[in-house]
Structure 1
């Protein structure tokens, strides 16, 4: 048992019977600690905001970004010259007097949300766990780790794969050669944040499947039956996320989503096996009723 799981077990033992107002008070302190952690990370980010913007946020806007360099190497090996990105045809500017300061605050808050996500989620999970049944707590053991791992993996995928592909396409797309691309900093930030955070949430597919399977909405049989439909939907999503007509970019985005769907099928099957096991144990003990299904 990990230290986090041990702490959760201690929370369950200490919770006991609580009144409604005591539950509200408990929730309030969990929320205070979660929001406080976000504020701490946001403050740290604001102190180092120039370095963060130059080395992380603005990096996908430059041709020397890691993803673009890897694509150029892939272009050399495959012979597809279009894969190599040597120029991003746009400049960024701020059209409002407080634009750069507002951008710094917004950026700090977003970094605070991402940086504090593991702890903030753990605080909320600590409030939820005592209300679960023992079998549900066993099934959800390690939930904080998996939610955090999938979220951060999605963030990295969005930052290093999806965002550069989208930025490259939008920056180099031309309606007419006479039009100059001068993007507002808020527009660039919005695009980068939407794609990156969107991938972080999309990678929660196995967790969402776990919850829906637990309440009986999803089954592995249903997901296998509609696998082909899901793959078509994934290709459509990949085409939307990567507006570039390059088929290789779409495949690059589709593969992780397809793997997540397969993992979700396994998760749904795991939940079903646990439910059947619990029902069998309850039947053997004589405590099983229809209400438990």
Structure 2
């Protein structure tokens, strides 16, 4: 009887990585599912909380509607699943970090956890700005705009969810600007002086991005462009103190 041929070491390593990746993905998925199961009973309340900025700014005859037969059931479930993902996101990111950590240097490992924590906090801050300030401002403006036209404002809940997700993503990603600036300087892609030189282009770009991702009104564009510019300046300060200040003077020349 012939003995089985030995498996190449590279193939064993690749398979072990796949097994570990599957394990990490399953743990992350299980965490999201557990949080979702804990929240699903309150799915209607979570949905009402999401649409509250619109409801409080609708005129007396304004209301939300359902165009799809199953929309009133599945839309709150989608919202609850997204909330569960947001709550479980730190654990999901930890699983990702645990998978890639063995391939990182020690100084890179020390950077990952503060980077992940600050990115998560900034993303939540961007969502909070959109929910508490941008949503009410947009809906109040739209309600007053529709009134003289004699148009009844009735929004489909599925369309509202898409609108809310787009703005949440836009403001959440926008708030990651300081992280991007610090990484660009830390990795040597751009110097701090170069980032200061391109400041006028960043200001123009902020208003262009705001015009693309926000509704076509000046107020919402302004509410995104100004934080983008402020966050860019914060990123410059953070890069100066966290990255540049640690380098010898000879490296800064």
What TM-score do the two structures reach when normalised by structure 1?
0.70
Runs (5+) with no aligned partner, structure 1:
1-17, 64-84, 281-293
Taking a change above 3 Å as real, the CA distance of residues 88 and 253 of structure 1, as seen in their structure-2 partners, is farther
- Does structure 2 conserve the Cα–Cα contact (< 8 Å) formed by 1:210 and 1:268? yes
2:51 to 45, 48, 58: 58
- Does structure 2 conserve the Cα–Cα contact (< 8 Å) formed by 1:89 and 1:171? no
- Does structure 2 conserve the Cα–Cα contact (< 8 Å) formed by 1:206 and 1:267? yes
Runs (5+) with no aligned partner, structure 2:
1-11
Give distance in 2, aligned partners of 1:208 and 1:32: 29
- Does structure 2 conserve the Cα–Cα contact (< 8 Å) formed by 1:39 and 1:112? yes
Give distance in 1, aligned partners of 2:113 and 2:91: 16
* Superposition CA RMSD, Å: 2.9
2:217 to 234, 244, 251: 244
What TM-score do the two structures reach when normalised by structure 2?
0.80
Task: Provide the secondary structure at the position in 2 that maps to 1:117.
Answer: helix
1:205 to 165, 177, 198: 177
Aligned residue in 1 for 2:236: 265
Aligned residue in 2 for 1:11: none
Aligned residue in 2 for 1:166: 138
Taking a change above 3 Å as real, the CA distance of residues 58 and 221 of structure 1, as seen in their structure-2 partners, is same
User: Displacement, 1:50?
Assistant: 1.7
| Deviation string, structure 1 residues 18-62 (Cα, Å, up to 9, x no partner) | 9222222222222111122222222223210122222x1121013
1:39 to 21, 28, 33: 33
Aligned residue in 2 for 1:3: none
Does 123-132 or 171-180 show the bigger shift? 171-180
- Residues 1-293 of structure 1: pairs in structure 2 closer than 5 A: 19-54=13-48, 56-63=49-56, 87=59, 90-174=62-146, 177-239=149-211, 241=214, 243-246=216-219, 251-269=222-240, 270-272=242-244, 276=247
Give distance in 2, aligned partners of 1:27 and 1:214: 28
User: Displacement, 1:138?
Assistant: 3.1
- Does structure 2 conserve the Cα–Cα contact (< 8 Å) formed by 1:154 and 1:200? yes
- Does structure 1 conserve the Cα–Cα contact (< 8 Å) formed by 2:53 and 2:135? yes
Give distance in 1, aligned partners of 2:147 and 2:211: 20
Give distance in 1, aligned partners of 2:167 and 2:146: 22
User: Displacement, 1:86?
Assistant: 8.3
Give distance in 2, aligned partners of 1:208 and 1:223: 12
- Does structure 1 conserve the Cα–Cα contact (< 8 Å) formed by 2:46 and 2:80? no
Does 138-147 or 219-228 show the bigger shift? 138-147
Aligned residue in 2 for 1:10: none
- Does structure 2 conserve the Cα–Cα contact (< 8 Å) formed by 1:155 and 1:196? yes
Taking a change above 3 Å as real, the CA distance of residues 31 and 267 of structure 1, as seen in their structure-2 partners, is farther
